[in-house]
Amino acid sequence: MILLMINIKTLLMLAIVAIIAVSCAKIFTKGASNSKAIAAFANLGVEEFQNYIANPVVQLLDVRTQDEFDEGHIAGAMLVDVNDSTFVEQAMKVLDKQRPVAVYCRSGRRSARAANLLSGQGCQVTNLAGGVLAWQDAGKALVK
């Protein structure tokens, strides 16, 4: 009887683990095409991001709105608004797919979405974690 209870407990635990694993897989692949791998990109903190964009090969992309860009942006950045329905097409017109891309926005959320979209196009993308807010909190300059 005790052995049967242990086996039932073991089976229940295995079932719970399997359910959690399937649920997590669905969460992480939600919206991903069955024919494509999930796009990946790197997140860097302010200091690492600043060092990264100092490399002239890296393309810097601000994905905020025109008004936000005009209020202040990181020097050398190009602007393509990720909220525009043609974001991917516009970005691919100005970016060289063979060169790495660094993206940022106000807080890091929109740029993470942009990074996901661009990496799905085959770009090597790095996102500024915390966005311009973190950049400014670290005392880094913006240009107008």
- 108-129 tens-digit pLDDT: 999 999 999 999 999 999 999 9
Return the pLDDT at 109.
96
Tell me the pairing of strands 59-62 and 101-104: parallel
Return the pLDDT at 72.
97
- Encoding tokens for residue 25? 């897989």
Pairwise CA distance, residues 133 & 140, whole Å = 10
User: In angstroms, what is the C-alpha Rg of the chain?
Assistant: 21
- Encoding tokens for residue 5? 């209870």
Q: Which residues are catalytic?
A: 105
User: Looking at the predicted structure, is the pLDDT value of residue 56 above 70?
Assistant: yes
Among 48, 66, 67, 68, smallest CA distance to 58 is for 48
pLDDT level of residue 106 (50, 70, 90 thresholds): very high
- Encoding tokens for residue 127? 């996102």
Return the pLDDT at 95.
98
**Percent residues over pLDDT 90 in the chain:** 72
Return the pLDDT at 26.
40
Residue type for position 83? N
Return the pLDDT at 34.
41
Q: Is the pTM of this model over 0.85?
A: no
